[in-house]
Structure 1
Amino acid sequence: MNSVAKVCLTGCLSLSLLFGTGCTRTYYKAMATFGKEKRDILVSRVKDSKKDQQQVKEQIKTTMESFQVLTGFQGGQLEKNYKKLNGEYEKAADSAKKLHDRIDSIDQVSNDLFREWQKEIDGMENRKLKQQSAQMLRQSRLQEANYIKSMRQTEARMTPVLTAFHDQVVFLKHNLNARAIGSLKGTSAKISTDVEVLLTSLDGSMAQADALIQSLNSSGS
């Protein structure tokens, strides 16, 4: 698929999340011409979500390190360190937004896939094969539900961390001096604890992504 087609199809999918199913059907139909069915799209998005989660993980760690450097300030380039922290926070917030959108897109295509899957099962005549397909569908539904649940929990843990970083950055913008920096040292440990919990949650979500990919690949073989 060329880059222009990818941009058009991605744009259509984004609009479908806002304006309904018409554009989504067009997207699926276009992807099918490239040999990509809903299962392939879902697997691809889950793989991309792992990359997004890894990016969020690294960016949160980098932001925390910048905050610790700033709160340990002993003199020197205070404004430069603040600007670095602000830049890292903005990157972290952007990464979190990208991950949120990815989760929504995964949930959408998985629901569409499972509806199609069930409809196809309903049309089967061979009882044994029908039962086997239904079992595979139940397994994939369970894996997808576990994955989405894990991702939403990770999002919930991400929100207070990003909010804390945001508040500290805004406070420092208003009070860019050594005294203000010193007043934040006590908050560093609390944020660090929340960050560690978040990083563990991200690791768990990535493991759930592997389980879902394995389930989908197995049921499609």
Structure 2
Amino acid sequence: MARLRHLRCTAWAPGAVLLASLMLSGCQSAYYDVMEQAGVHKRDILSDRVIAARDAQQDADEQFSSALERYQSVVTVPESELSRAHAALESDYSRSQAAAERVSQRIDAIESVAQALFREWEGELDQYQNESYRRQSERELEQTRQRYSEMLDAMHRAEDTMPPVLTAMHDNVLFLKHNLNARAIGALKGEVSQLETQIATLRREMQASIERSNRFIDGMEASD
């Protein structure tokens, strides 16, 4: 993991340009081969991507919480401040949407390397001549798969809570844009409680997913 972080932080050398090109072109297998030659294995990449996803989930959790606070404050602003309030809500919606997209991208990246890792690991089991080693490796594979499956399920549950919140936020932003008056404030007051419920669910699932991510990371580090 430390080696991977070092590679990411290194200045743009020719090798780094090649890695970026491989990733952008979608040649994941070639990318993994290059990283393997650099001493960075798929399990290292998987651990690093889980950490990145966990951090993206934490950012999303904080962003949606901040957006809710903005909505709660908007219903108390005077009518003369509604134009400014709309701009603030629109900005919060955009940041929340970007945070949600980052979470989804991180999850996709995890699934990509996990599939490659498990396929490679399973294929290498038959290479063992020592039957005891083979059984031990097979047990570790199944345990890792189980922890991974539990973590991924938690990630997807958290991911699924974000689109409904974004839809509600977008609807309110649009409504306020065309109704900068007291009627809009009254409508928003009725929506805040729904948003509170949705975001409470989102944050609960996000925290559960973050906890599962930490467990998976700890398990990977313990087996190193």
Q: TM-score, normalised by structure 2?
A: 0.90
Q: Equivalent pairs: percent with the same residue?
A: 34
**CA RMSD, 1 decimal:** 1.6
Is the Cα–Cα contact under 8 Å of residues 103 and 151 in structure 1 kept in the other structure?
A: yes
Instruction: Give yes or no for the alignment of 1:12 onto 2:42.
Output: no
Q: Which moved more, 1:181-190 or 1:136-145?
A: 181-190
Q: For residues 141 and 11 of structure 2, what CA distance do their matches in structure 1 show?
A: 33
Q: Which residues of 2 match residues 77-88 of structure 1 at below 5 A?
A: 77-88=81-92
Q: Which residues of 2 match residues 100-119 of structure 1 at below 5 A?
A: 100-119=104-123
The residue number in structure 2 matching 1:176 is 180
Q: Which residues of 2 match residues 11-160 of structure 1 at below 5 A?
A: 12-16=22-26, 23-160=27-164
Letter of the 1:83 counterpart? A
Q: For residues 178 and 12 of structure 1, what CA distance do their matches in structure 2 show?
A: 54
Q: For residues 25 and 152 of structure 2, what CA distance do their matches in structure 1 show?
A: 21
Unaligned runs of 5+ in 2: 1-6
The residue number in structure 2 matching 1:207 is 211
> CA separation of 1:103/1:10 partners in 2, compared to 1, >3 Å: closer, same or farther?
farther
Q: For residues 61 and 130 of structure 1, what CA distance do their matches in structure 2 show?
A: 48
Is the Cα–Cα contact under 8 Å of residues 66 and 85 in structure 1 kept in the other structure?
A: yes
Q: For residues 28 and 96 of structure 1, what CA distance do their matches in structure 2 show?
A: 27
Q: For residues 96 and 8 of structure 1, what CA distance do their matches in structure 2 show?
A: 29
Instruction: Give yes or no for the alignment of 1:216 onto 2:220.
Output: yes
Is the Cα–Cα contact under 8 Å of residues 79 and 181 in structure 2 kept in the other structure?
A: no
Is the Cα–Cα contact under 8 Å of residues 162 and 202 in structure 2 kept in the other structure?
A: yes
Q: TM-score, normalised by structure 1?
A: 0.91
Q: For residues 87 and 69 of structure 2, what CA distance do their matches in structure 1 show?
A: 14
Q: For residues 48 and 27 of structure 1, what CA distance do their matches in structure 2 show?
A: 18
Letter of the 1:12 counterpart? L
> CA separation of 1:6/1:91 partners in 2, compared to 1, >3 Å: closer, same or farther?
farther
Letter of the 1:51 counterpart? D
